[in-house]
Amino acid sequence: MENTDLILADDFCLHHHVSYTFITQLYDAGLVEVVTIDERHFLPVDKLTEVEKLVNFHTDLDVNVEGIEVIANMLLQMKALQRQLRETQNRLGLYED
């Protein structure tokens, strides 16, 4: 991963008005990826949308990290179920014609 694909975590925190401790808690919960280069912490640019969504849960809805973890897991399960439903509907369509 090139450095151009990374954003300094401190810059992200400053822009989104959250502490780096919050990002660390998300990382410890396995919800975000943090890349360390020369003792500096970075977030991958391609994951920023997901990180911003988690930050919004925290800042806009006042959800703590444990709650964010539950929400993230439920969203993953929902996506998996939607994918299964779509696949089942596609297979069913073969028999309906």
- CB 73 within 8 Å of CB 48: no
Both structure tokens of 53:
């969504």
CATH architecture observed for domain 3-96: Orthogonal Bundle (1.10)
Query: At residue 42, what is the residue type?
Result: F
Do 12 and 51 form a contact (C-beta atoms < 8 A)? yes
Where do the domains of the chain lie?
Answer: 3-96
As a whole number, the mean pLDDT across the chain is 94
CA-closest candidate to residue 21, choices 50, 55, 47: 55
- Average pLDDT on 72-87 reads 97
Residue 78 Cα distances to 1, 28, 34, 63, angstroms? 30, 23, 25, 20
**Nearest Cα to 12, choosing from 60, 49, 61?**
49
Asked whether the predicted pLDDT for residue 2 surpasses 70, the reply is no
pLDDT at 94: 85
What pLDDT score was predicted for residue 32?
Answer: 97
Q: pLDDT-based confidence at 68, cuts 50/70/90?
A: very high
**Total-model pTM:** 0.81
